[in-house]
Amino acid sequence: MAAMAIPATLKASGNIHMTTEQHSFDVIIIGGSYAGLSAAMALGRSLRKVLIIDSAQPCNRYTPHSHNFITQDGAVPAAIAQAAKEQVLQYPTVSFLEGLAVSGKVLEHGFEIGVQGAKVYQAKKLIFATGVRDIFPEIEGFEACWGKTIIHCPYCHGYEFRGRKTAIWANGDRAVHVASLVNNLTGDISIITSGKPDFNPEQLEKLRKNGIEIIDKAVKGIVQDNGTILKLVFEDGQEEDFEAIYAALPFEQHSGLPAQMGCSMTEMGHIKIDAFQKTEIPGIYACGDNSTMMRSVSNAVATGNLTGAMVNHELTQETF
């Protein structure tokens, strides 16, 4: 497929307003946050014609600060993404379209992607950097606290809550794993199982030895002030104050397109990839939170960079 360069004037605002004609690229990247932008930079530096399609719904939009990413520790996530976008769009072969990819088709020599309210675009290779969507419990106050004082990762947020009264909202192996990490950050930990505890004798002994209380009551509501937890309200009416809660939430793929186009999923719900970010569909790659348990900005950037290099390598091998 012949690729068509996008005039710089159409890229200035970070959006593309295409004509009624179809346009083709070397690579389409669906998802324009950290992983997608990182992949686009690697490809743009190799003069690949790239279209990034992004719906402006990053998973970490709830979080006021990003941590554990060297040179950006404590920065606002949206500011990191905006700076990345500005740098990536300096490469003249990279274009950005704000929109929602709603359809995908595998062609004989590439892929076709339809965007809501827009036209259809084609590419030789396809990268999904679409992230995941956390599924919140229907508990008052939860969403307001998510990413602020209800957190998911000790590496991303634990230092800021060191020494604080902390709850781990999980059960079984997941709860024990998080407790083992958080135990190094605070000596005041409780595990909320919201039902019958699911721990074997060895795990129970470890929790007892480290002074970790188990609360088997279900949470009814969260009293909070602008995202700061004040106390938990349990179904029996009891209240207890906490300053931080680690919550192990279920998630789903942010986009249904990978599955619709034939990509396999792991048992945990991630897109199945190999060591080079390839899915099981030839020519389709995935990077970032949609295909790994390691949910962090730094890991998204790293997997995006690798993906861009691998896609460029594949394109090179097909023509060299």
Q: What is the pLDDT of residue 58?
A: 75
**Residue 78 tokens, joined:** 């949206």
Q: Residue 52: which of 34, 78, 79 has the closest Cα?
A: 34
Taking every pair of Cα atoms in the chain, the longest distance, rounded to a whole number of angstroms, is 70
Strand partners, 114: 103, 120
pTM across the whole model: 0.89
Range 177-183 average pLDDT: 96
Output the average pLDDT for the chain: 91
Q: Residue 15: which of 105, 95, 113 has the closest Cα?
A: 95
Domains of the chain: 8-133+250-319 (3.50.50.60), 137-247 (3.50.50.60)
Banded pLDDT at 68 (limits 50, 70, 90): confident
Helix ranges restricted to H, 188-271 = 201-209, 257-260
**Residue 111 tokens, joined:** 């892929």
Per DSSP, the three-state class of 278 is strand
Range 259-272 average pLDDT: 97
23 CA to centre of own chain: 29
**Residue 112 tokens, joined:** 């076709």
Banded pLDDT at 63 (limits 50, 70, 90): confident
